[in-house]
Amino acid sequence: MIQFDVITIFPEIFKGFVSESLLARGQKKKIIRIGLHNLRKWTTDKHKTVDDNPYGGGPGMVLKIEPIFKAVKSIELKVKSKRSKNVKPKTYNLKQRVILFSPRGKKLTQELAKKWAKLDQLIFICGRYEGVDERVADYIADEVISIGDYVLNGGEVAAMAVIESVSRLIPGFIAKKESAQKADHAQYTRPEVFIMGKKRLKVPKVLLSGDHKKIKEWRKNII
């Protein structure tokens, strides 16, 4: 079981995402757990302020460090050890990682997803607006991650990408009859011929031949 915790000012964005298809099934089967946390919960003023003007001036607002720090501290799983007389509490280390999303971060790769799939908990800090106080990257997050060379409105879509790519690697998340890896060759299904205007789009003959050796050979050569 891996626990994902998302800290965001837009938890509603995730509602449909976490309650459909494989992610819904994974949660039901207790293979993954997903916690959604509104950053405003950790503010103390009546306006629930999460951002402020940048020091040194400039346009836009910057997410403040205090609520993010409090959120991470309260969400971090702690080892529960039952103390009883004369019995030393069992101690083991939880494997956790705090990830901040930013277009300036290290690129997400399948290799990283594989490493993270072995953890107990991943905490995601979704940046928004023009930025996040840099001390979050320096002192709170273990890693700063980007999902590609483009700028999103915030880290929410990035968090979804990580949740999906990591979940798929957790044993049991993908049923045996489904495939964990995408096919690395071209695929076709019915109809054999699709008429598109004046064009007849045909399925390669070899796939209809029933000759598995030939099909295997064809798949090796076609990417």
Give contact residues for ligand ADE (rule: CB under 6 A): 101-103, 127, 146-148, 150-152, 154-155, 158
Q: Which is nearer to ligand ADE, 130 or 217 (CB)?
A: 130
Beta strands in 9-141 (DSSP E): 32-38, 51-52, 62-63, 96-107, 121-126, 131-132
Q: Which residues contact 9 (CB under 8 A, 6 or more apart)?
A: 38, 39, 40, 50, 126, 128
- Spatial distance between the Cα atoms of 135 and 161, rounded to a whole number of angstroms: 25
> Shortest gap between Cβ of 88 and ligand ADE (angstroms)?
43
Give the DSSP per-residue string, 177-198: TS-SSPPSS----S-SEEEETT
Q: Which is nearer to ligand ADE, 75 or 145 (CB)?
A: 145
> Shortest gap between Cβ of 145 and ligand ADE (angstroms)?
6
Q: Which is nearer to ligand ADE, 35 or 103 (CB)?
A: 103
Q: Which is nearer to ligand ADE, 148 or 172 (CB)?
A: 148
> Shortest gap between Cβ of 101 and ligand ADE (angstroms)?
4
